[in-house]
Structure 1
Amino acid sequence: MLQFIHQLLHKSIQSISPCLLCSIDLQQQHSLCKDCWNQLPWYKQSIERHEQQILVAHRYTFPMDRIILKYKYEQQLHYQNVLAQSLLSLKLPKVQAIVAMPISTERLQQRGYNQMLIIAKLMAKQLNIPVWQPVVRTAQHSQKGLTRLERLENIEHQFRPIITEQRKYRKVLIIDDVITTGSSIHALAQALENLGCQHVYAACIAAAE
Protein backbone atom coordinates (compact mmCIF):
# COMPACT_ATOMS: atom_id res chain seq x y z
CA MET A 1 0.00 0.00 0.00
CA LEU A 2 2.78 2.42 0.94
CA GLN A 3 4.62 1.64 -2.29
CA PHE A 4 1.45 2.36 -4.30
CA ILE A 5 1.01 5.71 -2.52
CA HIS A 6 4.67 6.60 -3.18
CA GLN A 7 4.27 5.80 -6.89
CA LEU A 8 1.07 7.84 -7.05
CA LEU A 9 2.75 10.84 -5.41
CA HIS A 10 5.75 10.54 -7.73
CA LYS A 11 3.50 10.54 -10.81
CA SER A 12 1.53 13.50 -9.45
CA ILE A 13 4.72 15.52 -8.91
CA GLN A 14 5.95 14.62 -12.39
CA SER A 15 2.68 15.71 -13.96
CA ILE A 16 3.22 19.27 -12.74
CA SER A 17 7.04 19.43 -13.00
CA PRO A 18 8.81 21.07 -15.95
CA CYS A 19 11.14 19.15 -18.27
CA LEU A 20 14.69 18.86 -16.87
CA LEU A 21 16.18 20.15 -20.14
CA CYS A 22 13.94 22.84 -21.62
CA SER A 23 11.95 23.75 -18.46
CA ILE A 24 9.01 24.59 -20.73
CA ASP A 25 6.82 21.54 -21.23
CA LEU A 26 5.86 19.08 -18.51
CA GLN A 27 7.79 15.95 -17.64
CA GLN A 28 6.88 12.49 -18.85
CA GLN A 29 7.91 9.27 -17.07
CA HIS A 30 11.56 9.84 -18.08
CA SER A 31 11.61 13.35 -16.51
CA LEU A 32 11.84 15.08 -19.91
CA CYS A 33 9.14 16.45 -22.16
CA LYS A 34 8.26 14.47 -25.26
CA ASP A 35 10.23 16.72 -27.65
CA CYS A 36 13.44 16.76 -25.58
CA TRP A 37 13.25 12.98 -25.15
CA ASN A 38 12.87 12.43 -28.89
CA GLN A 39 15.72 14.82 -29.68
CA LEU A 40 18.30 13.04 -27.52
CA PRO A 41 21.27 11.62 -29.52
CA TRP A 42 19.71 8.18 -29.90
CA TYR A 43 21.86 5.36 -31.23
CA LYS A 44 20.00 2.19 -30.18
CA GLN A 45 22.45 -0.17 -31.79
CA SER A 46 24.88 -2.86 -30.74
CA ILE A 47 28.63 -2.37 -30.91
CA GLU A 48 31.34 -4.99 -30.50
CA ARG A 49 34.16 -4.73 -27.99
CA HIS A 50 36.46 -7.65 -27.12
CA GLU A 51 34.20 -10.05 -29.04
CA GLN A 52 31.19 -9.02 -26.97
CA GLN A 53 28.09 -7.29 -28.27
CA ILE A 54 27.10 -4.27 -26.19
CA LEU A 55 23.78 -2.49 -26.59
CA VAL A 56 24.10 1.30 -26.63
CA ALA A 57 21.26 3.79 -26.13
CA HIS A 58 22.93 7.07 -27.15
CA ARG A 59 25.91 8.67 -28.77
CA TYR A 60 28.07 10.45 -26.21
CA THR A 61 27.25 13.94 -27.49
CA PHE A 62 25.23 16.93 -26.28
CA PRO A 63 23.09 16.90 -24.20
CA MET A 64 23.63 13.31 -23.07
CA ASP A 65 27.31 13.92 -22.30
CA ARG A 66 26.38 16.81 -19.99
CA ILE A 67 23.60 14.83 -18.32
CA ILE A 68 25.90 11.90 -17.56
CA LEU A 69 28.69 14.11 -16.21
CA LYS A 70 26.34 16.10 -13.97
CA TYR A 71 24.72 12.93 -12.68
CA LYS A 72 28.02 11.15 -12.15
CA TYR A 73 30.23 13.87 -10.69
CA GLU A 74 27.96 16.70 -9.48
CA GLN A 75 25.41 14.64 -7.52
CA GLN A 76 22.55 15.76 -9.76
CA LEU A 77 20.62 12.57 -9.11
CA HIS A 78 17.40 13.93 -10.58
CA TYR A 79 18.74 12.72 -13.94
CA GLN A 80 18.50 9.09 -12.85
CA ASN A 81 15.12 8.55 -14.54
CA VAL A 82 16.36 9.86 -17.91
CA LEU A 83 19.31 7.49 -17.81
CA ALA A 84 17.38 4.46 -16.55
CA GLN A 85 14.61 4.91 -19.11
CA SER A 86 17.23 5.30 -21.85
CA LEU A 87 18.50 1.81 -21.08
CA LEU A 88 14.98 0.42 -20.71
CA SER A 89 14.13 1.75 -24.18
CA LEU A 90 16.60 -0.76 -25.67
CA LYS A 91 15.60 -4.26 -26.77
CA LEU A 92 17.10 -5.86 -23.70
CA PRO A 93 17.54 -9.64 -23.50
CA LYS A 94 15.58 -11.60 -20.92
CA VAL A 95 17.89 -12.02 -17.94
CA GLN A 96 17.65 -13.16 -14.34
CA ALA A 97 19.55 -10.26 -12.73
CA ILE A 98 21.12 -6.86 -13.39
CA VAL A 99 24.77 -6.22 -12.51
CA ALA A 100 25.74 -2.57 -12.13
CA MET A 101 29.35 -1.72 -13.00
CA PRO A 102 31.08 -1.70 -9.59
CA ILE A 103 33.33 1.14 -8.46
CA SER A 104 36.22 0.99 -5.99
CA THR A 105 35.83 1.87 -2.32
CA GLU A 106 37.99 4.93 -2.93
CA ARG A 107 35.72 6.18 -5.73
CA LEU A 108 32.66 5.43 -3.63
CA GLN A 109 34.01 7.54 -0.77
CA GLN A 110 34.85 10.40 -3.13
CA ARG A 111 31.54 10.35 -5.00
CA GLY A 112 29.22 9.18 -2.24
CA TYR A 113 27.33 6.75 -4.46
CA ASN A 114 27.69 4.24 -7.28
CA GLN A 115 25.84 6.00 -10.10
CA MET A 116 25.06 2.79 -11.97
CA LEU A 117 23.75 0.97 -8.90
CA ILE A 118 21.05 3.64 -8.51
CA ILE A 119 20.03 3.13 -12.14
CA ALA A 120 20.17 -0.66 -11.77
CA LYS A 121 17.67 -0.50 -8.90
CA LEU A 122 15.26 1.58 -10.98
CA MET A 123 15.54 -0.83 -13.89
CA ALA A 124 15.23 -3.92 -11.70
CA LYS A 125 12.01 -2.58 -10.23
CA GLN A 126 10.44 -2.17 -13.66
CA LEU A 127 11.76 -5.46 -15.01
CA ASN A 128 10.88 -7.30 -11.79
CA ILE A 129 14.30 -8.89 -11.41
CA PRO A 130 16.98 -8.50 -8.71
CA VAL A 131 20.12 -6.38 -8.69
CA TRP A 132 23.15 -8.62 -8.20
CA GLN A 133 26.56 -7.32 -7.07
CA PRO A 134 28.82 -10.40 -6.75
CA VAL A 135 32.02 -8.65 -7.81
CA VAL A 136 34.05 -6.00 -6.00
CA ARG A 137 36.42 -3.55 -7.62
CA THR A 138 39.81 -2.68 -6.17
CA ALA A 139 41.63 0.64 -6.69
CA GLN A 140 40.90 2.08 -10.14
CA HIS A 141 44.08 3.22 -11.88
CA SER A 142 44.49 5.47 -14.90
CA GLN A 143 44.77 3.68 -18.23
CA LYS A 144 46.53 6.57 -19.92
CA GLY A 145 49.72 5.65 -21.79
CA LEU A 146 49.16 1.89 -21.55
CA THR A 147 49.09 -0.48 -24.51
CA ARG A 148 45.91 -2.46 -25.28
CA LEU A 149 47.33 -5.58 -23.60
CA GLU A 150 48.51 -3.62 -20.56
CA ARG A 151 45.06 -2.02 -20.24
CA LEU A 152 43.36 -5.40 -20.26
CA GLU A 153 45.74 -6.82 -17.66
CA ASN A 154 45.38 -3.72 -15.47
CA ILE A 155 41.58 -3.86 -15.62
CA GLU A 156 41.34 -7.62 -15.06
CA HIS A 157 43.19 -7.33 -11.75
CA GLN A 158 40.65 -4.77 -10.52
CA PHE A 159 37.65 -7.12 -10.48
CA ARG A 160 37.40 -9.77 -7.78
CA PRO A 161 34.46 -12.17 -7.43
CA ILE A 162 32.98 -12.50 -3.96
CA ILE A 163 33.62 -16.19 -3.37
CA THR A 164 31.12 -16.38 -0.50
CA GLU A 165 28.26 -15.12 -2.72
CA GLN A 166 25.41 -17.60 -2.37
CA ARG A 167 23.09 -16.44 -5.17
CA LYS A 168 23.79 -17.77 -8.66
CA TYR A 169 22.35 -16.60 -11.97
CA ARG A 170 22.94 -18.04 -15.44
CA LYS A 171 21.79 -15.02 -17.49
CA VAL A 172 22.76 -11.52 -16.36
CA LEU A 173 22.91 -7.99 -17.78
CA ILE A 174 25.83 -5.66 -17.06
CA ILE A 175 24.97 -1.95 -17.23
CA ASP A 176 27.44 0.93 -17.46
CA ASP A 177 27.30 4.62 -18.31
CA VAL A 178 29.86 5.31 -21.06
CA ILE A 179 31.75 2.79 -23.14
CA THR A 180 35.06 3.56 -24.84
CA THR A 181 37.40 0.57 -25.16
CA GLY A 182 35.05 -1.85 -23.41
CA SER A 183 37.85 -3.15 -21.17
CA SER A 184 35.87 -2.75 -17.93
CA ILE A 185 32.86 -4.63 -19.26
CA HIS A 186 35.13 -7.37 -20.64
CA ALA A 187 36.86 -7.81 -17.27
CA LEU A 188 33.58 -7.79 -15.32
CA ALA A 189 32.06 -10.31 -17.72
CA GLN A 190 35.02 -12.64 -17.16
CA ALA A 191 34.63 -12.36 -13.39
CA LEU A 192 30.92 -13.19 -13.71
CA GLU A 193 31.67 -16.18 -15.91
CA ASN A 194 34.09 -17.40 -13.25
CA LEU A 195 31.14 -17.33 -10.86
CA GLY A 196 29.17 -19.61 -13.17
CA CYS A 197 27.24 -17.18 -15.39
CA GLN A 198 26.61 -18.77 -18.78
CA HIS A 199 25.22 -15.75 -20.63
CA VAL A 200 26.56 -12.28 -19.83
CA TYR A 201 24.96 -9.42 -21.76
CA ALA A 202 25.86 -5.73 -21.57
CA ALA A 203 24.17 -2.38 -22.15
CA CYS A 204 25.54 1.17 -21.91
CA ILE A 205 23.87 4.55 -21.79
CA ALA A 206 26.26 6.09 -24.33
CA ALA A 207 29.21 5.25 -26.56
CA ALA A 208 32.14 7.61 -26.90
CA GLU A 209 34.05 7.81 -30.18
Structure 2
Amino acid sequence: MTQPINLLQCGIQWLCQLQPCQLCHSDTQWQHSVCQTCWQQLPWRSQAVQRQEMQIQVTFDYHYPINRIIQQFKYEQQLHYQLLLVGALKQLSYPKIQAIVPMPISTARLTERGYNQSLLLAKGLARHLNVPIWQPVTRLQQHAQKGLSRLERLEDIQQQFQIQNAPKIRFRRVLIVDDVVTTGSSIHALKQQLLKLGCQKVEAVCLASAE
Protein backbone atom coordinates (compact mmCIF):
# COMPACT_ATOMS: atom_id res chain seq x y z
CA MET A 1 0.00 0.00 0.00
CA THR A 2 2.90 2.36 0.74
CA GLN A 3 4.32 2.26 -2.78
CA PRO A 4 1.17 3.47 -4.65
CA ILE A 5 0.78 6.33 -2.17
CA ASN A 6 4.39 7.40 -2.71
CA LEU A 7 3.95 7.18 -6.48
CA LEU A 8 0.83 9.32 -6.23
CA GLN A 9 2.64 11.93 -4.14
CA CYS A 10 5.52 12.00 -6.61
CA GLY A 11 3.06 12.43 -9.47
CA ILE A 12 1.34 15.34 -7.73
CA GLN A 13 4.69 17.02 -7.02
CA TRP A 14 5.75 16.56 -10.64
CA LEU A 15 2.51 18.10 -11.92
CA CYS A 16 2.88 21.05 -9.53
CA GLN A 17 6.35 21.74 -10.91
CA LEU A 18 4.78 22.20 -14.33
CA GLN A 19 2.26 24.75 -13.05
CA PRO A 20 3.03 28.49 -13.08
CA CYS A 21 3.85 30.32 -9.86
CA GLN A 22 0.69 31.72 -8.25
CA LEU A 23 2.37 35.06 -7.65
CA CYS A 24 4.51 35.97 -10.67
CA HIS A 25 2.93 33.51 -13.16
CA SER A 26 6.19 33.56 -15.12
CA ASP A 27 8.19 30.79 -13.49
CA THR A 28 7.14 27.26 -12.49
CA GLN A 29 6.21 26.32 -8.96
CA TRP A 30 9.03 25.42 -6.59
CA GLN A 31 7.15 24.71 -3.36
CA HIS A 32 3.81 25.62 -1.79
CA SER A 33 2.49 26.83 -5.19
CA VAL A 34 5.12 29.55 -5.76
CA CYS A 35 8.48 29.73 -7.50
CA GLN A 36 11.76 29.90 -5.61
CA THR A 37 12.31 33.60 -6.30
CA CYS A 38 8.86 34.65 -5.06
CA TRP A 39 9.21 32.42 -2.01
CA GLN A 40 12.54 33.99 -1.05
CA GLN A 41 11.30 37.54 -1.64
CA LEU A 42 8.32 37.26 0.71
CA PRO A 43 8.59 39.60 3.74
CA TRP A 44 9.79 36.92 6.16
CA ARG A 45 10.16 37.84 9.81
CA SER A 46 12.92 36.24 11.85
CA GLN A 47 11.71 37.09 15.36
CA ALA A 48 8.57 36.63 17.42
CA VAL A 49 6.58 39.69 18.53
CA GLN A 50 5.59 40.72 22.04
CA ARG A 51 1.91 41.53 22.48
CA GLN A 52 -0.10 41.75 25.71
CA GLU A 53 2.82 40.20 27.65
CA MET A 54 2.76 37.22 25.30
CA GLN A 55 5.33 35.98 22.79
CA ILE A 56 3.62 35.35 19.45
CA GLN A 57 5.36 33.58 16.59
CA VAL A 58 4.82 35.16 13.18
CA THR A 59 6.02 34.19 9.74
CA PHE A 60 5.84 37.57 7.96
CA ASP A 61 5.72 41.30 8.38
CA TYR A 62 2.40 42.60 7.09
CA HIS A 63 3.92 44.04 3.91
CA TYR A 64 3.33 43.53 0.20
CA PRO A 65 2.59 41.01 -1.23
CA ILE A 66 1.59 39.11 1.92
CA ASN A 67 -0.82 41.82 3.07
CA ARG A 68 -2.66 41.61 -0.24
CA ILE A 69 -2.59 37.80 -0.27
CA ILE A 70 -4.08 37.61 3.23
CA GLN A 71 -6.78 40.14 2.34
CA GLN A 72 -7.76 38.13 -0.73
CA PHE A 73 -7.70 34.87 1.20
CA LYS A 74 -9.77 36.37 4.03
CA TYR A 75 -12.31 38.54 2.24
CA GLU A 76 -12.36 37.54 -1.44
CA GLN A 77 -12.53 33.73 -1.17
CA GLN A 78 -9.15 33.30 -2.86
CA LEU A 79 -8.70 29.97 -1.12
CA HIS A 80 -6.00 28.76 -3.48
CA TYR A 81 -3.57 30.79 -1.34
CA GLN A 82 -4.14 28.32 1.50
CA LEU A 83 -1.31 26.10 0.24
CA LEU A 84 1.17 28.99 0.35
CA LEU A 85 0.02 30.33 3.73
CA VAL A 86 -0.04 26.96 5.48
CA GLY A 87 3.31 26.14 3.89
CA ALA A 88 4.74 29.30 5.44
CA LEU A 89 3.42 28.38 8.89
CA LYS A 90 5.13 25.00 8.58
CA GLN A 91 8.51 26.75 8.46
CA LEU A 92 8.32 27.66 12.15
CA SER A 93 9.42 25.48 15.06
CA TYR A 94 6.67 24.57 17.49
CA PRO A 95 6.68 23.47 21.13
CA LYS A 96 4.94 20.28 22.15
CA ILE A 97 1.22 20.95 22.02
CA GLN A 98 -1.86 18.77 22.37
CA ALA A 99 -4.31 20.73 20.22
CA ILE A 100 -4.72 23.76 17.95
CA VAL A 101 -7.31 26.44 18.68
CA PRO A 102 -8.24 28.56 15.64
CA MET A 103 -9.26 32.14 16.37
CA PRO A 104 -13.09 32.03 16.36
CA ILE A 105 -15.21 34.53 14.44
CA SER A 106 -18.79 35.57 15.09
CA THR A 107 -21.74 33.93 13.38
CA ALA A 108 -22.35 37.15 11.45
CA ARG A 109 -18.79 37.19 10.10
CA LEU A 110 -19.00 33.48 9.28
CA THR A 111 -22.23 34.00 7.35
CA GLU A 112 -20.75 36.97 5.50
CA ARG A 113 -17.52 35.21 4.45
CA GLY A 114 -18.71 31.61 4.28
CA TYR A 115 -15.69 30.30 6.21
CA ASN A 116 -13.33 31.05 9.06
CA GLN A 117 -9.93 31.76 7.52
CA SER A 118 -8.13 30.93 10.78
CA LEU A 119 -9.82 27.52 10.88
CA LEU A 120 -8.58 26.75 7.36
CA LEU A 121 -5.04 27.64 8.40
CA ALA A 122 -5.37 25.66 11.62
CA LYS A 123 -6.53 22.52 9.80
CA GLY A 124 -3.48 22.54 7.55
CA LEU A 125 -1.13 23.08 10.49
CA ALA A 126 -2.92 20.43 12.58
CA ARG A 127 -2.27 17.84 9.88
CA HIS A 128 1.39 18.87 9.81
CA LEU A 129 1.77 18.63 13.61
CA ASN A 130 -0.55 15.62 13.92
CA VAL A 131 -2.75 17.18 16.60
CA PRO A 132 -6.52 17.79 16.72
CA ILE A 133 -8.47 21.01 16.26
CA TRP A 134 -10.14 22.20 19.48
CA GLN A 135 -12.89 24.85 19.49
CA PRO A 136 -14.20 25.23 23.04
CA VAL A 137 -14.72 29.00 22.79
CA THR A 138 -17.21 30.86 20.61
CA ARG A 139 -17.20 34.51 19.61
CA LEU A 140 -20.20 36.77 19.97
CA GLN A 141 -21.08 39.68 17.72
CA GLN A 142 -17.95 41.64 16.80
CA HIS A 143 -18.56 45.37 17.10
CA ALA A 144 -16.80 48.23 15.38
CA GLN A 145 -14.39 49.77 17.91
CA LYS A 146 -13.90 53.16 16.29
CA GLY A 147 -14.16 55.93 18.88
CA LEU A 148 -13.56 53.65 21.88
CA SER A 149 -10.73 54.24 24.32
CA ARG A 150 -8.02 51.59 24.75
CA LEU A 151 -9.63 50.33 27.97
CA GLU A 152 -13.07 50.22 26.35
CA ARG A 153 -11.67 48.26 23.41
CA LEU A 154 -10.05 45.70 25.70
CA GLU A 155 -13.25 45.25 27.70
CA ASP A 156 -15.31 44.92 24.52
CA ILE A 157 -13.02 42.24 23.08
CA GLN A 158 -12.94 40.29 26.35
CA GLN A 159 -16.73 40.18 26.38
CA GLN A 160 -16.83 38.79 22.84
CA PHE A 161 -15.41 35.38 23.81
CA GLN A 162 -17.58 32.83 25.56
CA ILE A 163 -16.84 29.27 26.69
CA GLN A 164 -19.15 26.65 25.23
CA ASN A 165 -21.20 24.64 27.69
CA ALA A 166 -19.02 22.04 29.43
CA PRO A 167 -16.62 20.91 26.66
CA LYS A 168 -16.16 17.14 26.94
CA ILE A 169 -12.47 17.17 26.01
CA ARG A 170 -9.89 19.49 27.53
CA PHE A 171 -6.21 20.02 26.75
CA ARG A 172 -3.40 21.50 28.81
CA ARG A 173 -1.02 22.69 26.08
CA VAL A 174 -2.58 24.44 23.09
CA LEU A 175 -1.64 26.66 20.18
CA ILE A 176 -3.83 29.58 19.02
CA VAL A 177 -3.74 30.18 15.26
CA ASP A 178 -4.75 33.51 13.72
CA ASP A 179 -4.02 35.35 10.47
CA VAL A 180 -2.77 38.80 11.54
CA VAL A 181 -1.79 40.17 14.94
CA THR A 182 -1.90 43.91 15.62
CA THR A 183 -2.45 44.77 19.29
CA GLY A 184 -2.85 41.13 20.33
CA SER A 185 -6.07 41.91 22.21
CA SER A 186 -8.10 39.14 20.59
CA ILE A 187 -5.42 36.53 21.25
CA HIS A 188 -5.13 37.69 24.86
CA ALA A 189 -8.90 37.51 25.38
CA LEU A 190 -9.07 34.02 23.89
CA LYS A 191 -6.13 32.94 26.03
CA GLN A 192 -7.94 34.04 29.20
CA GLN A 193 -10.90 31.83 28.36
CA LEU A 194 -8.61 28.87 27.62
CA LEU A 195 -6.89 29.33 30.98
CA LYS A 196 -10.31 29.14 32.65
CA LEU A 197 -10.73 25.75 30.99
CA GLY A 198 -7.59 24.47 32.65
CA CYS A 199 -5.01 25.08 29.94
CA GLN A 200 -1.57 25.40 31.51
CA LYS A 201 0.35 26.54 28.44
CA VAL A 202 -1.14 28.68 25.67
CA GLU A 203 1.05 29.53 22.70
CA ALA A 204 0.10 31.58 19.63
CA VAL A 205 1.14 31.82 16.00
CA CYS A 206 0.04 34.24 13.27
CA LEU A 207 0.80 34.58 9.61
CA ALA A 208 1.82 38.22 9.89
CA SER A 209 2.46 41.03 12.33
CA ALA A 210 1.08 44.51 11.66
CA GLU A 211 2.46 47.42 13.65
Query: TM-score, structure 2 length as denominator?
Result: 0.93
Q: Which residue of 1 aligns with 2:180?
A: 178
The CA distance in 1 between the partners of 2:186 and 2:34, in whole Å, is 30
Percent of counterpart pairs with the same letter?
A: 55
How many residue pairs get aligned? The number is 209
Instruction: Return 5+ residue gaps in structure 2 as ranges.
Output: none
Deviations 1:48-82 (A, max 9, x none): 11111111111101000000000000000000011
**Which aligned pairs between 1:83-94 and structure 2 lie closer than 5 A?**
83-94=85-96
The CA distance in 2 between the partners of 1:191 and 1:33, in whole Å, is 41
Instruction: Return 5+ residue gaps in structure 1 as ranges.
Output: none
Secondary structure in structure 1 of the residue aligned to 2:45? strand
**Which aligned pairs between 1:35-74 and structure 2 lie closer than 5 A?**
35-74=37-76
Deviations 1:77-125 (A, max 9, x none): 0000111122221222221111111110000000000011111111111
Q: Which residue of 2 aligns with 1:108?
A: 110
Letter in 2 for 1:196: G
Measured on the aligned residues, the alpha-carbon RMSD in Å equals 1.9
Q: Which residue of 1 aligns with 2:164?
A: 162
Secondary structure in structure 2 of the residue aligned to 1:45? coil
Moved over 6 A (4+): none
The CA distance in 2 between the partners of 1:194 and 1:83, in whole Å, is 31
The CA distance in 1 between the partners of 2:163 and 2:129, in whole Å, is 25
**Cα distance, 1:11 vs. partner?**
3.0
**Which aligned pairs between 1:1-209 and structure 2 lie closer than 5 A?**
4=5, 10-209=12-211
The CA distance in 1 between the partners of 2:176 and 2:8, in whole Å, is 28
**Cα distance, 1:208 vs. partner?**
0.8
Query: TM-score, structure 1 length as denominator?
Result: 0.94
The CA distance in 1 between the partners of 2:45 and 2:146, in whole Å, is 27
8 Å CA contact retained: 1:44, 1:90: no
